[in-house]
Amino acid sequence: MERRKFLLSLGVVSVAAGMEPFSKTLNTITNKLSPAGAGNLNRRNKMGKFELPQLPYSYDALEPYIDKQTMELHHSKHHNAYVTNLNNAVAGTDAEGKSLEEIIKNISKYPMAVRNNGGGVYNHNLFWQLMKPNGGGTPAGELGGAINSTFGSFDEFKKLFSTAAATRFGSGWAWLIVQNGKLIITSTQNQDSPEMDIADQKGTPILTLDVWEHAYYLKYQNRRPEYIENWWNVINWDEVARRFKEAK
Ligand code: MN
């Protein structure tokens, strides 16, 4: 706890001073020392407001597969706007004191602004954790075995997941979820999550891909399948495997 406070206070200093190299170092330190903190989907600040989590890597870390400008806009503008709008949407309601996870799981009780922006915050918090520089490859161990036995092979899984992502009409997300111990590929519209009580396919997400145009349009324009193909090179399989163990 003291360590997290210390790192948070460093974060404030580096942002205020606009020190890019130092903030990169900080990201590395935070990631190494506090993976649980970095993966906290319910992040709130001392005022009880939801806050934008730092990326666990720099904006250019996923080049050339996901470009720096897209990452910067996606995180500092799009994700940040969901945080701001969620804080506005829950202000003065009974959702104000609840964790984001609790809100998501009971989303049918809340107005559409909470569903859209709460999902927007929750999904992006997760998405960043599931990528890393020098990622990709194929998962080994229990997860690799479960993928092979469920889908036949990793290549078959990759094909099915990519198709789900490519064919999601309009804006949305593709998912690999654990439902009653089983792996399932699904997709959702807008900012909906398989953890929402309104989802057709409910389960615990262990891998997800943002297929909103803002996630790829600067680099790939209308070529969503090319973005999807490149994204396989930055998947953080260690984090997917960790979530799989927790979920099954
Ligand atoms: Mn997005």
pLDDT digits (tens, 9 = 90+) for 78-129: 999 999 999 999 998 989 889 999 999 999 999 999 999 999 999 999 999 9
Question: Which residues have CB atoms below 5 A from the ion given as ligand 1?
Answer: 210, 212, 215
27 band by pLDDT with thresholds 50, 70 and 90: very low
HSE-up of residue 17 (Cα within 13 Å, Cβ side): 11
Strand, helix or coil at 56? coil
Distance, CA of 215 to chain centre: 12
Instruction: Give 112 Cα–ligand 1 centroid separation in angstroms.
Output: 18
Give the pLDDT score at 42. 65
pLDDT digits (tens, 9 = 90+) for 143-174: 999 999 999 999 999 999 999 999 999 999 99
Instruction: Give 53 Cα–ligand 1 centroid separation in angstroms.
Output: 14
Instruction: Give 116 Cα–ligand 1 centroid separation in angstroms.
Output: 12
CATH assignment, 65-248: 3.55.40.20
d(CA 144, CA 245): 12
Structure tokens that stand for 83 in this block: 């945080």
pTM, entire model: 0.83
Give the pLDDT score at 41. 59
Structure tokens that stand for 156 in this block: 């078959």
CA-nearest of 248, 93, 49 to 106 is 93
Would you list the domain boundaries of the chain?
65-248
Give the pLDDT score at 12. 37
Instruction: Give 178 Cα–ligand 1 centroid separation in angstroms.
Output: 22
Instruction: Give 210 Cα–ligand 1 centroid separation in angstroms.
Output: 6
